[in-house]
Amino acid sequence: MFAEKKTHDAFGVIPAGDTRKELASLGDSEVVQKFLDGEERAFGELVRRYDSRLLNFVYRTVGDRERAQDLVQETFVRVYRHLHRFDQSKKFSTWIYTIAGNLAKNELRNRSRNPLVLFQAIKKNWDADHRPLEWEDEAYKPDDLFRKRHLKEKVDEAVQQLPEHHRIVFVLRELEGRTYEEIAEITDTNLGTVKSRLNRARNNFARIIAPMVD
Partner 1 sequence: MNCQEFLERYSEFRDIDEADTEPDSFEAHLDSCPACRRYHEVVERGVELARSFSGPPIREDFEDRLRHHIYHADLVAHTRRRDGSSPLIAVALAAAAILAGVGAWGPISTITTAPTVDLPGISASAPQVRTILEPQPVQQSPERSPAFLNHSNLWSESNTLLYEHSNLYHRYRDGTLIRTGLH
Q: Which residues are at the interface with partner 1 (CB under 8 A)?
A: 1-2, 9-11, 47, 51-52, 55-56, 59-60, 65, 68-69, 72-74, 76-77, 80-81, 133-137, 151-152, 155-156, 158-159, 173-175, 179-180, 195, 198-199, 202-203, 205-206, 209-210, 212-214
Inter-CA distances, 127 with 5, 51, 199, 207, 209, Å: 53, 34, 15, 14, 18
* Shortest distance in whole angstroms from residue 214 CB to partner 1: 7
* Shortest distance in whole angstroms from residue 141 CB to partner 1: 12
- Alpha-carbon 126 to chain mean position: 23
Q: Which CB sits closer to partner 1, 28 or 156?
A: 156
Q: Which CB sits closer to partner 1, 82 or 119?
A: 82
* Shortest distance in whole angstroms from residue 13 CB to partner 1: 14
Q: Which CB sits closer to partner 1, 165 or 173?
A: 173
* Shortest distance in whole angstroms from residue 115 CB to partner 1: 30
Inter-CA distances, 147 with 122, 150, 152, Å: 31, 5, 9
Q: Which CB sits closer to partner 1, 18 or 214?
A: 214
Q: Which CB sits closer to partner 1, 9 or 28?
A: 9
* Shortest distance in whole angstroms from residue 90 CB to partner 1: 19
* Shortest distance in whole angstroms from residue 121 CB to partner 1: 22
Question: Are the C-beta atoms of residues 62 and 71 closer than 8 Å to each other?
Answer: yes
Question: Are the C-beta atoms of residues 179 and 144 closer than 8 Å to each other?
Answer: no
Inter-CA distances, 202 with 57, 73, 159, Å: 17, 30, 10
Q: Which CB sits closer to partner 1, 122 or 213?
A: 213
Torsion angle of alpha carbons 78, 82, 87, 91, nearest 10°? Answer: 30
Residue 94 phi, psi dihedral angles, 5° rounding: -65, -40
